[in-house]
Amino acid sequence: MFGLGGSGIAAAHSLVAGGANVVCWDDGEAGRAHALAEGFKVADLREVYWPAVSSLVLAPGVPLTHPEPHWTVGLAHQNGVEIIGDVEIFARERAALCPHAPFIAITGTNGKSTTTALIAHLLTHLGHDVAMGGNIGRAILTLEPPAPNRIHVIEMSSYQIDLTPTLKPSVAVLLNVTPDHIDRHGSLEHYAAVKERLLTKAQACAVGIDDAVTAAAAGRVEPASRLYAFTAGQGASEIPRLYAIQQSLFVHEQSGSYASSEEIASLDCIDTLRGRHNVQNALASLAALRALQDLADGDQAALRPVDAEGARTIWALKRLAEGLKSFPGLPHRLEEVGRVGRVLFINDSKATNAEAAEKALSSFNGAIHWIAGGQPKSGGIASLAALFPRIAKAYLIGEAQEQFAATLAGRVYAERCGTLAVAVAKAAADAAASGAQLPVVLLSPACASFDQFKNFEERGESFRELVCGLMQEPGR
């Protein structure tokens, strides 16, 4: 076992419980100390007898191929040892103990955490036993084990897919693919190929067809009956199973030579699903459930397709619409923190690049008091120029403030604030003094957080605390 973070320690516990002889190592002293404290054998893997090793279980954050393989990967290859991850252990246990246990796997460049959480929420709302985890929340091997009526809803990064050779979910969800993690995959083509691997052995595939990469992947799904394509209405080249008109979500059903469309729900006034990107997330979630219902109808998903009254247990449109309305959203992703008078405060700390910030800025028509900055990424914010007219004022923080100020010069009035606390105070005061009906203070940094915070979660929590402090001030 190499890599002793949360998922690594969980995997070690699972392997030991299954009778394996586990040797752990990590390049960091803290990881090794954690493993020792948990009672595991810790030894430098350069010194183990590799011909006796059956498997190298690698943490997903460890380079497998690019920019160059980690030294443990080289040792494994030299000795013909397989390299797997924690999701592969789950996949093998599921195959051995309960191969038809429902398993939905979700991937994509953007939106996979929200989609994973929304699928889990909808299924829970419908009364199902749901276990959610993977790249979100809990490590997969800390969840309850596969069972005929338990649905595992698992977010998977490209790193995790790369380490799961026997991956065979009931339903695979591929949202979108845009350039990301190229340093770890070498090229967009390789990154996209890893993402597409999720679809290869799935019983059903819910695939977004709004970008060229995923549209091409959808075209390669065979037989076509496995495909549940969805589009947010951006010019798809083929008839989707689910689609949107503005904020309204529809399903396209085919029965013999007769086809019909039915409205499922509208996302208007659902604040936790603001923005065009959340239209795609909602469609992806519904496509996964439509596929799961068909699998249940075919007795392949180990789920009861109908209840005692004969009503569908998954594709129940009225209850799905109710579930969409009650979705609480995820922290740090267009999270509504609160209101102070007319001013709405939105925590979108998860937006660590311009592409993510674009989705937040697009979610509001104007009067945006934008808090941006941190540790800059390549490309900066020049790509957001079309949205600059929506910004009333920018409040810049961290290392990126000079770079962002230069980009905004002459187009958006920007104030260098340095810290988040200063930015929140100034943005709140300016928004309250504005004449807008609903001014918004939006933290959507378009930057990494590491110059001033441990991670984006800490940055978002700090924003929330600052806003709560404003809400508690006398007279607010």
Q: Is 112 a catalytic residue?
A: yes
Pairing of strands 258-266, 248-255: antiparallel
The domain boundary, picked from 296, 325, 354, lies at 325
Same domain, 155 and 298: yes
Residue-range definition of the domain harbouring residue 359: 335-471
Same domain, 59 and 138: no
Give pLDDT tens digits for 265-323.
999 999 999 999 999 999 999 999 999 999 999 976 678 899 888 899 999 999 999 99
Closest CA to 110 of 213, 203, 216, 261: 213
Q: Which two tokens stand for residue 256?
A: 């013999």
Distances (CA, A) of 232 to 179, 242, 243: 20, 9, 6
Provide mean pLDDT across the span 141-167.
96
- CA pseudo-torsion sign 361, 363, 369, 371: negative
Same domain, 11 and 141: no
Domain presence at residue 330: no
At residue 117, the pLDDT reads 98
Percent residues over pLDDT 90 in the chain: 86
At residue 179, the pLDDT reads 66
At residue 260, the pLDDT reads 84
The domain boundary, picked from 275, 290, 325, lies at 325
Same domain, 201 and 128: yes
Q: Are 436 and 392 in contact (CB under 8 A)?
A: yes
**Distance, CA of 111 to CA of 258 (rounded, Å):** 34
Same domain, 367 and 453: yes
The domain boundary, picked from 67, 84, 101, lies at 84
Closest CA to 132 of 111, 159, 105: 105
Same domain, 237 and 251: yes
Domain presence at residue 1: no
> 171 forms bridges with which residues in the sheet?
104, 204
Same domain, 232 and 369: no
Q: Are 339 and 345 in contact (CB under 8 A)?
A: yes
Same domain, 73 and 99: no
CATH at residue 363: 3.90.190.20
Q: Are 60 and 159 in contact (CB under 8 A)?
A: yes
Domain presence at residue 476: no
Same domain, 79 and 119: no
Of the residues 13, 66, 181, 325, only one is catalytic, namely 181
At residue 65, the pLDDT reads 87
**Distance, CA of 467 to CA of 416 (rounded, Å):** 20
Cis peptide bond prior to 165, omega within 30° of 0: no
CATH at residue 54: 3.40.50
Domain presence at residue 187: yes
Q: Which two tokens stand for residue 349?
A: 């700390």
At residue 256, the pLDDT reads 65
Q: Nearest 5 degrees, angle CA 254-CA 282-CA 339?
A: 150
Q: Is 181 a catalytic residue?
A: yes
At residue 236, the pLDDT reads 56
- Across 9-13, 224-228, 261-265, 298-302, least confident range: 298-302
Query: Which residues are CB-neighbours of 57 under 8 A, at least 6 positions away?
Result: 1, 2, 8, 11, 15, 84, 85, 86, 89
* Predicted confidence band of residue 233 (pLDDT cuts 50, 70, 90): confident
Of the residues 110, 135, 278, 353, only one is catalytic, namely 135
Q: Nearest 5 degrees, angle CA 280-CA 199-CA 108?
A: 35
Give me the torsion for CA of 134, 137, 142, 148, rounded to 10°: -60
Domain presence at residue 29: yes
Domain presence at residue 237: yes
Provide mean pLDDT across the span 136-143.
94
At residue 257, the pLDDT reads 65
Domain presence at residue 413: yes
Q: Are 286 and 292 in contact (CB under 8 A)?
A: no
**Overall domain count for the chain:** 3
**Distance, CA of 274 to CA of 251 (rounded, Å):** 20
Give pLDDT tens digits for 374-426.
999 888 999 999 999 999 999 999 999 999 999 999 999 999 999 999 999 99
Of the residues 34, 70, 110, 112, only one is catalytic, namely 112
Same domain, 80 and 91: no
- Residue at 288: amino acid letter: A
Task: Quote helix, strand, coil % in the chain, to nearest 5.
Answer: 40, 20, 40
At residue 19, the pLDDT reads 95
At residue 407, the pLDDT reads 98
Domain presence at residue 57: yes
At residue 178, the pLDDT reads 82
Provide mean pLDDT across the span 132-145.
95
Q: Residue 412 gets which letter from DSSP?
A: S
CATH at residue 234: 3.40.1190.10
Q: Which two tokens stand for residue 248?
A: 């309204």
Closest CA to 57 of 84, 24, 96, 20: 84
Provide mean pLDDT across the span 164-177.
97
Q: How many residues does the chain have?
A: 476
Same domain, 264 and 300: yes
**Residue 255 predicted with pLDDT over 70:** no
Same domain, 295 and 425: no
- Residue for token pair 């700090």: 462
- The enclosing H or E element of 227 equals strand 227-231
The mean predicted confidence, pLDDT, of the chain is: 94
pTM for this predicted structure: 0.92
Provide mean pLDDT across the span 359-382.
95
**Residue 181 predicted with pLDDT over 70:** no
